Amino acid sequence: MLYFSKLRIVFITIFSLLFVLIASSNLFKFGDSFFDKKINLGLDLQGGSYLLLEIDNEPVIEQKLQNLTTTFRNFFKDKNIKLNNIKIDNQNIFFNVIEENKQKVIDIFQDENSEINPYYPRFKSHQLEIEDLGLNLKINFSRQGLINLKTSSQDQAIEIVRRRVDEVGTNEPNILKRGNSRILVELPGLDDPTRIKSLLGKTANLTFRFVTQNDEDRFGVEKLEYEDGTPSVNVSKRIIISGENLLDAQPKMDTQNNQTIVSFTLDRVGAKRFGKATSTGIGKQLAIVLDGKIISAPVVRDTIASGAGQISGGFTFQSATDLALLLRSGALPAPLDIIEERTVGPDLGQDSINAGMIALSIGFMLVIIFMFVKYRFFGLITNVTLIINLFILLGILTLFEATLTLPGIAGIILTVGMAVDANVLIFERIKEELKDETNNILAFDGGYTKSRTAIIDANITTLLAAVILFFMGSGPVKGFAVTLGVGIFTTLFSVYFIARLFTSLYVTKNKNNGKLI
């Protein structure tokens, strides 16, 4: 166990130096061309906001089922099958058909090449399930159909969230999917997430619809409230243009009356429809509806054919800016709820870094002094090893650009405390060997060999705990699992290569000087 070939010594030296260099690149700037990796600081250390959003998919499912009923009705009409008493209840579609058509309908739904019910061969499942309830037929989304629907609304939502966050211009936001109905937003450096929260909390579904007096509009009407609380009016369900038709939106100052407005430009389809609607609807009130509330309902005075227009509604400059931003980034497929929020101010983050560093230095000093007092020369070897171990640990974290959190720093300090364990096991074993063995080389060799199973078992148990923590833990706690887990590997490396190398050099030189430890 004590023999090291020249090649191995060179390799260990180079390896250790390399990691010392990598680790110190966090402190000194070597220039990006040489090495541009750095340990990331977690939000709890650099300050910032962590938001977990959940997509409320219920309206999406309702809407989808609503659309499907129309599709089904038309599809079966072509096949001369009439669907009766169609209704949607609790995310199911119910309808009935005459008895002789029943099997036909079921077959169409269960056909793998069905036009109206896509089949996913990979999951051996249709999008929809059909069930014969005797009196009527029930159709609902299959498990896989629901998953697909959720994933696609998540895909859309994450895109919109990204656009909105980018527009606000925070530095290096981190936007990730979580499960199939959640989105995680990490905003480093942001200490007040109020604005982002209000921006993400809005669906931003914009429609232009005429205010109507009669209740029998061909498309149906609904009573909508004004945003400022003015009594509600009837608005047609017919959509002239919607947010999708917008090319751009900007906040502007109306020079005539010093009001802040949002000006917008429309795409070709939108411009055409807007032009037509404004030409036929002169004198009528055109309601601008955002998320079910009327912003304003100006009277159409002229035909607007240019495809440009403006929205007024008693905006402040801030609210006009936000509305323009929301319109530019597009509507969310479904409302988002903020189900978890954690914000740390930058000064608290800095305080945590300082406290962590002080604790690390003090813990390190205490351990080093203790080891030196206890083992003298071999304590010194342990301590040098411990320092190199720390560098390798930081080097690996840098190499993988791992995120360092406050519990992560605690993990490093704990590693320092526990890292000496392996060396202690070895040294104590050597001491025992030396009780009835006079040859230093043999005693040291025996010490290393006989302590090995205990060391490996002991480290694997800690590693197992770290692995579980990594997969089950969230946020800062994950950072703890990372440093603790990586710390085990670096500890074993430094004990078995670096400390053993020093020990071996010392012992072979002084093998005849009596008991060495």
- Give the footprint of other proteins on residues 399-418 (CB under 8 A): 406-407, 409-410, 413-414, 416-418
Beta carbon nearer to other proteins, 157 or 386: 386
Beta carbon nearer to other proteins, 129 or 433: 433
Beta carbon nearer to other proteins, 127 or 415: 415
Burial of 192 from C-beta contacts in 10 A (0-12 / 13-18 / 19+): exposed
- Residue 496 sits in the site that holds other proteins (CB under 8 A): no
- Residue 54 sits in the site that holds other proteins (CB under 8 A): yes
- Residue 336 sits in the site that holds other proteins (CB under 8 A): no
- Residue 355 sits in the site that holds other proteins (CB under 8 A): yes
CB 185 within 8 A of CB 174: yes
The footprint of other proteins on residues 213-242 (CB under 8 A) is none
Please state, in angstroms and rounded to a whole number, the distance separating the CA atoms of residues 292 and 205: 8
Shortest Cβ 455–other proteins spacing (Å): 8
- Residue 339 sits in the site that holds other proteins (CB under 8 A): yes
Q: Which of 162, 342, 387, 489 binds other proteins (CB under 8 A)?
A: 342
Beta carbon nearer to other proteins, 201 or 275: 201
- Residue 45 sits in the site that holds other proteins (CB under 8 A): no
* The residue to which tokens 């159909």 are assigned: 145
- Residue 421 sits in the site that holds other proteins (CB under 8 A): yes
Beta carbon nearer to other proteins, 221 or 419: 419
Non-local CB neighbours of 156 within 8 Å, separated by 6+ positions = 332, 333
Shortest Cβ 42–other proteins spacing (Å): 12
Q: Which of 351, 400, 449, 510 binds other proteins (CB under 8 A)?
A: 351
Q: Which of 228, 254, 347, 401 binds other proteins (CB under 8 A)?
A: 347
Shortest Cβ 450–other proteins spacing (Å): 8
Phi, psi (deg, nearest 5) at residue 426: -65, -50
DSSP 8-state assignment for residue 122: G
CB 158: neighbour CB atoms within 10 A? 19
Listing DSSP states for 12-24 in one string gives HHHHHHHHHHHHH
| H helix intervals, 79-192 | 99-110, 143-168
Tokens of 457: 């078992």
What does DSSP say about strands 259-266 and 84-89: parallel, antiparallel, or unpaired? unpaired
CB 244 within 8 A of CB 309: no
Non-local CB neighbours of 80 within 8 Å, separated by 6+ positions = none
The footprint of other proteins on residues 373-392 (CB under 8 A) is 374
Q: Which of 9, 18, 465, 505 binds other proteins (CB under 8 A)?
A: 465
Q: Which of 60, 184, 235, 344 binds other proteins (CB under 8 A)?
A: 344
Q: How far is the CA of 301 from the CAs of 80, 280, 315, in angstroms?
A: 48, 11, 22
The footprint of other proteins on residues 284-313 (CB under 8 A) is none
Shortest Cβ 451–other proteins spacing (Å): 9
Non-local CB neighbours of 216 within 8 Å, separated by 6+ positions = none
The footprint of other proteins on residues 444-463 (CB under 8 A) is 450, 453-454, 457-463
Using the contact rule CB under 8 A, the part of the chain among 79-87, 281-289, 315-323, 478-486 near other proteins is 478-486
Q: How many residues bind other proteins (CB under 8 A)?
A: 71
CB 181: neighbour CB atoms within 10 A? 18
Beta carbon nearer to other proteins, 63 or 194: 194
Please state, in angstroms and rounded to a whole number, the distance separating the CA atoms of residues 468 and 38: 26
Using the contact rule CB under 8 A, the part of the chain among 29-37, 126-134, 210-218, 420-428 near other proteins is 420-428
* The residue to which tokens 């607007």 are assigned: 304
